[in-house]
Structure 1
Amino acid sequence: MALRFASVVVAALFASTALAGAADVVGPYDPAPAAPQPASFDYGDDDLVFELGIKGVVEPEFLGSNDYRVVPGAIFSVEYLNLPGIGSFGGPDGLGLSIGPSFNYVGARKSSDHPELSGLDDVDATYEAGIKVSYEWQYAEVYGEARYAFGGAEGFVGNAGANLIARPTDTVTLKLGPTVSFASKGYMDDYFSVSAAEEIASGGKFQAYDAGGGFRTVGVAASARYEFSPDWFLNADASWDRLVGDAADSPIVKAGDKDQYSFTLGVSKRFSLDLF
């Protein structure tokens, strides 16, 4: 199923690229048009340029679940930041080095909401905050994120990846590439371990298990972004992640599904501020 999903994503990206570029067909004696460039934004005297928006998310009901839910989410990213005396990050064409904040939210896991988790302790909502660093070229990018988690689960978590980038027009950007995520033992323990007390409470359905830190998932992610009006964007994302390592060996995941999918669709707007 994972392979089917990846194939569908690739096919969709190539189809989108073909459709978007259909109007740019070159005749046998016409000069080839220049490759589309990343949309440029005039920062002027602005010191902070960021995007803010909302999205709908289809995601597993909990880590390792084979049931899905639809929840609202927020879109926030920093496109450009200028710090006097330090330097600037990002640029008008979106290329080069970029450093910004990274946030994530994992909803609460309650046994009362999921009969298949009967006997397991509840895990409150987890909040994650940290930093994202990326470097983008014309047709590719690499990125990494590291966050500290607190609330229901505590510890460090992060992810990294690389993307191939297609820009069929100056308002459309398509990305596709592999991803990997990792987590510290504290974080993994809260979501994937089973204590002796939980084993007894579950009637033996879940055997005691002690999850360690390390790699958590590997997968592939795809995204499409369309600037349908100046400074307004339509964003679509899809991903497949397979739980690996100690996460995959957890009795909780074995009772659910190692393959985890997510889909998002949202709208965002670019804002700029003159801070200094």
Structure 2
Amino acid sequence: MAGPYKTSLPFPCALMVAVLCGQHAAANERERDLSGVIGFGIGSAPEFSGSDKDTTELFPIIDLTWRDRYFLNDRGLGFYALRNAGRRNLSVSFAIGYDFDERLAEDDARLTGLRDVEAGALLSAGLAFDVGAAEVDLELNHGISSKGHEGTRATISAAFSRMAGDRLRLSARPFLVWSDGSYASAFYGVSAQEAASSAFAAYDAGSGFERVGIELQASYSLTPRTALFAGIEHFQLLGDAKDSPISFDDALTEISTGVIFRF
């Protein structure tokens, strides 16, 4: 679920949408061709991964499914090759979307001399299944914009949710992210050429686990089709990402709130 933020993970809407839709999405999708939720939110997040400065913006929320096969959401436009199959509700999906993950010199004067890493197109593949108390998600994405990171990342997460009364739902989603050398080099590395034109020494950032964190959310149903939500996501940079001279803060937090409408 993603807003127009320059952080590496989608803004914390995906968990909220999944939880709110999950209460009756299956029934709705059998009854109509188009189902899902739309809404809007406001949130605060780091300017870029490793930034010690925050930005606050409005963002849209869109999670639509057509005939239980095609979707438009934070991952972009995609399709399910397999959906809710078998005892574990196994789903396999593919999508092409827009990656808001970027780092620009205009975000911070300290970045002067480093190349801009711009937002761009993103390919993704996902695998989801139930393990009883949680839904496990595996997602692989790859940047395909020549001005972007052109890297690959893999995220594993587990979403837990429970009702706290008739209208309040509480959710938690721990996650772990691995990135390849292209992604790490773009966001955390400093080439010899960049070192000569910036205030940073050369730094080689390689593949490995990039971050670990948890997303917490609460949603309150005002009506059967309208709900308010609030969320907080905190993550810790790891390995070369944490040690990078461009990582001015390695413990980062995002917060958001908003409203969604089911149909």
With the shorter chain as reference, the TM-score category is 0.7 to 0.9
**3-state SS of 1:82 partner:** coil
Q: Which residue of 2 aligns with 1:13?
A: none
> Does structure 2 conserve the Cα–Cα contact (< 8 Å) formed by 1:193 and 1:211?
yes
| Structure 2 residue 258 is matched with structure 1 residue 266 | yes
For residues 118 and 138 of structure 1, the distance between their equivalents in structure 2, rounded to whole angstroms, comes to 49
| Structure 2 residue 142 is matched with structure 1 residue 148 | yes
| Structure 2 residue 48 is matched with structure 1 residue 65 | no
> Does structure 2 conserve the Cα–Cα contact (< 8 Å) formed by 1:123 and 1:190?
yes
Q: CA deviation at 1:210?
A: 1.9
Q: Which residue of 2 aligns with 1:12?
A: none
| Structure 2 residue 62 is matched with structure 1 residue 76 | yes
Q: Which residue of 2 aligns with 1:210?
A: 204
> What do you get for the CA RMSD once the two structures are aligned?
3.0
Q: Which residue of 2 aligns with 1:181?
A: 177
> Does structure 1 conserve the Cα–Cα contact (< 8 Å) formed by 2:47 and 2:107?
no
Q: Measured at CA, do residues 79 and 167 of structure 1 come closer, stay the same or move farther in structure 2, by a change above 3 Å?
A: farther
Q: Which residue of 2 aligns with 1:190?
A: 186
**3-state SS of 2:193 partner:** helix
For residues 60 and 214 of structure 1, the distance between their equivalents in structure 2, rounded to whole angstroms, comes to 22
For residues 87 and 108 of structure 1, the distance between their equivalents in structure 2, rounded to whole angstroms, comes to 30
Query: TM-score when scaled to structure 2?
Result: 0.73
**3-state SS of 1:74 partner:** strand
For residues 107 and 172 of structure 1, the distance between their equivalents in structure 2, rounded to whole angstroms, comes to 32
Q: Which of 40, 55, 59 does residue 24 from structure 2 map onto?
A: 40
Q: CA deviation at 1:48?
A: 4.4
| Amino acid across the alignment from 2:118 | D
For residues 137 and 174 of structure 2, the distance between their equivalents in structure 1, rounded to whole angstroms, comes to 11
> Does structure 1 conserve the Cα–Cα contact (< 8 Å) formed by 2:99 and 2:143?
no
Q: Which residue of 1 aligns with 2:162?
A: 166
| Amino acid across the alignment from 2:233 | S
| Amino acid across the alignment from 1:39 | Q
Structure number with greater Rg is 1
Q: Measured at CA, do residues 88 and 184 of structure 1 come closer, stay the same or move farther in structure 2, by a change above 3 Å?
A: closer
Q: Measured at CA, do residues 100 and 175 of structure 1 come closer, stay the same or move farther in structure 2, by a change above 3 Å?
A: farther
For residues 98 and 46 of structure 1, the distance between their equivalents in structure 2, rounded to whole angstroms, comes to 20
| Structure 2 residue 245 is matched with structure 1 residue 251 | yes
For residues 260 and 165 of structure 2, the distance between their equivalents in structure 1, rounded to whole angstroms, comes to 19
**3-state SS of 1:257 partner:** coil
Q: Measured at CA, do residues 186 and 107 of structure 1 come closer, stay the same or move farther in structure 2, by a change above 3 Å?
A: closer
> Does structure 2 conserve the Cα–Cα contact (< 8 Å) formed by 1:98 and 1:135?
yes
Q: Which residue of 1 aligns with 2:41?
A: 55
> Does structure 2 conserve the Cα–Cα contact (< 8 Å) formed by 1:140 and 1:162?
yes
Q: Which residue of 2 aligns with 1:228?
A: 222
**3-state SS of 2:43 partner:** strand
For residues 267 and 45 of structure 1, the distance between their equivalents in structure 2, rounded to whole angstroms, comes to 24
**3-state SS of 1:187 partner:** helix
For residues 98 and 77 of structure 1, the distance between their equivalents in structure 2, rounded to whole angstroms, comes to 16
Q: Structure 1, unaligned stretches of length 5 or more?
A: 1-37, 272-276
Q: Which residue of 2 aligns with 1:16?
A: none
Deviation per CA, 1:61-115: give whole Å up to 9, x if none.
11100111112323233578535xx997359xxx944455675643542224411
Q: Measured at CA, do residues 50 and 101 of structure 1 come closer, stay the same or move farther in structure 2, by a change above 3 Å?
A: farther
Q: Measured at CA, do residues 69 and 120 of structure 1 come closer, stay the same or move farther in structure 2, by a change above 3 Å?
A: same
For residues 239 and 250 of structure 1, the distance between their equivalents in structure 2, rounded to whole angstroms, comes to 22
**3-state SS of 1:182 partner:** strand
| Amino acid across the alignment from 1:117 | L
Q: Which residue of 2 aligns with 1:32?
A: none
Deviation per CA, 1:5-41: give whole Å up to 9, x if none.
xxxxxxxxxxxxxxxxxxxxxxxxxxxxxxxxx7335
Identity %, equivalent residues: 28
Q: CA deviation at 1:148?
A: 2.0
Q: Measured at CA, do residues 216 and 98 of structure 1 come closer, stay the same or move farther in structure 2, by a change above 3 Å?
A: same
